[in-house]
């Protein structure tokens, strides 16, 4: 079966999001009263596996090995329906 998974990478709480801060300041300048902006990266990955669980496990490993740096980032994986 082919599965489509979404791997979402975001900065851990307490890690300064320099890009998010810049976007927030710029939105404020444009008159939008936003109070916070966080940037996230999302990878939509298609792969074949025996089950959705196996696909998730594979991408969990991939996230740890490449997509996220555990020092500053958290990740979550969900199936794309």
Partner 1 sequence: MLLTGNDKMPDVCVLLIEGTNCEKETQEAFSGVGLDAELVHLKQLLGDCERQRKRRLSDYGMLMLPGGWSAGDYIRAGAIFAARMKSKLGDELKDFVESGNLVLGVCNGFQILTEMGLLPAFKGISDVPTASLTNNLSSCFQCRPTYIKHVNKTPLTGKLDLGDVIQVPVAHAEGRFTFGEKQDMMLKQLIENNQIVFRYCRVDGSEAQEIYPWNPNGSIYDIAGICNPERNVLGLMPHPERVINRLQMTDWTRKDNGDAGDGRVVFESIAGYLKAIV
* Residues engaged in binding partner 1 (CB under 8 A): 12, 14-16, 18-19, 21-22, 64-67, 69-72
Return the closest-CA partner of residue 45 out of 11, 68, 79: 79
Q: In terms of CB distance, is 1 or 27 closer to partner 1?
A: 27
Rounded least distance, CB 72 to partner 1, Å: 5
In angstroms, the CA 8 to CA 19 distance is: 17
CB atoms within 10 A of CB 78: 10
Rounded least distance, CB 32 to partner 1, Å: 18
Q: In terms of CB distance, is 12 or 46 closer to partner 1?
A: 12
Rounded least distance, CB 20 to partner 1, Å: 9
Q: Which residue intervals of 1-81 are DSSP H helices?
A: 18-29, 52-62
């Amino acid at each position: 079966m082919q599965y489509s998974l979404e791997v979402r990478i975001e900065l851990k709480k307490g890690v300064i999001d320099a890009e998010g801060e810049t976007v927030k300041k710029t939105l404020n300048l444009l008159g939008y009263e936003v109070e916070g902006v966080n940037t996230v990266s999302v990878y939509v990955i298609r792969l074949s596996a025996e089950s959705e669980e196996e696909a998730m496990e594979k991408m969990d490993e991939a996230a740890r090995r490449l997509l996220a740096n555990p020092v500053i980032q958290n990740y979550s994986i969900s199936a794309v329906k």
